Amino acid sequence: MPTTNPFFSSTTGYSGEEQLVDSLVIEQIGMFGVDLLYMPRENINLDRLLHEATKDVFKMALSIPMYIKSFDGYDNSIEMLSKFGVRSSDELTLIMSRSQWTTYYAPYVKSLYNEQSDRPELSVNNPLQGQTSRRPKEGDLIFFPFDDGIFEVKYVQFDQPFFQLGRGYIFELQCEKFEYSGEDFETGYPRIDQTPGRSEFPNLEFIFAPDGIGSFDFEEKVRIFDVSELEEFQLYDDSGLIKRVPYVEATVSRWEQPLRRLSVSNVTDLDPLQLNPLTGNVDINKFDKAVVIGQTTGARWTSVEAIQRPKAFDDADYIQEQFNRIKIYDPGDAPVDFGFY
Better-predicted residue by pLDDT, 323 or 17: 17
**Whether residue 116 has pLDDT greater than 60:** yes
Q: Residues 222, 290: contact at Cβ < 8 Å?
A: no
Global confidence as pTM: 0.59
Q: Residues 196, 281: contact at Cβ < 8 Å?
A: no
CA nearest neighbour of 181 among 171, 196, 167, 194: 196
**Whether residue 230 has pLDDT greater than 60:** no
**Tens-digit pLDDT profile for residues 39-50:** 999 887 777 677
Mean pLDDT of the chain: 80
**Tens-digit pLDDT profile for residues 80-92:** 666 555 566 788 9
For residues 219 and 323, state if they share a domain.
Answer: yes
pLDDT on residue 179: 82
For residues 177 and 206, state if they share a domain.
Answer: no
**Whether residue 253 has pLDDT greater than 70:** yes
For residues 154 and 29, state if they share a domain.
Answer: yes
- Structural domain of 154: 15-194
- 192 phi/psi in degrees, rounded to 5: -90, -45
Strand order from edge to edge, sheet including 52-58: 42-47, 52-58, 184-185
For residues 162 and 19, state if they share a domain.
Answer: yes
User: DSSP E strands: which ranges in 59-198?
Assistant: 62-68, 79-82, 85-88, 91-97, 141-144, 149-157, 170-177, 184-185
**Whether residue 197 has pLDDT greater than 50:** yes
Cα-trace Rg, the chain = 27
For residues 300 and 263, state if they share a domain.
Answer: yes
Residue 341 lies inside a defined structural domain of this protein: no
How many Cα atoms within 13 Å fall on the side-chain side of residue 140? 23
- Spatial distance between the Cα atoms of 298 and 294, rounded to a whole number of angstroms: 5
CA nearest neighbour of 288 among 267, 268, 302: 302
CA nearest neighbour of 76 among 94, 66, 88: 88
What mean pLDDT comes out for the span 190-205?
A: 71
What mean pLDDT comes out for the span 242-260?
A: 86
Better-predicted residue by pLDDT, 5 or 29: 29
Q: For the chain, how many structural domains are there in total?
A: 2
Q: Residues 212, 260: contact at Cβ < 8 Å?
A: yes
- Spatial distance between the Cα atoms of 328 and 325, rounded to a whole number of angstroms: 9
What mean pLDDT comes out for the span 95-124?
A: 89
For residues 182 and 50, state if they share a domain.
Answer: yes
For residues 164 and 243, state if they share a domain.
Answer: no
CA nearest neighbour of 173 among 98, 76, 74, 93: 93
Residue 117 lies inside a defined structural domain of this protein: yes
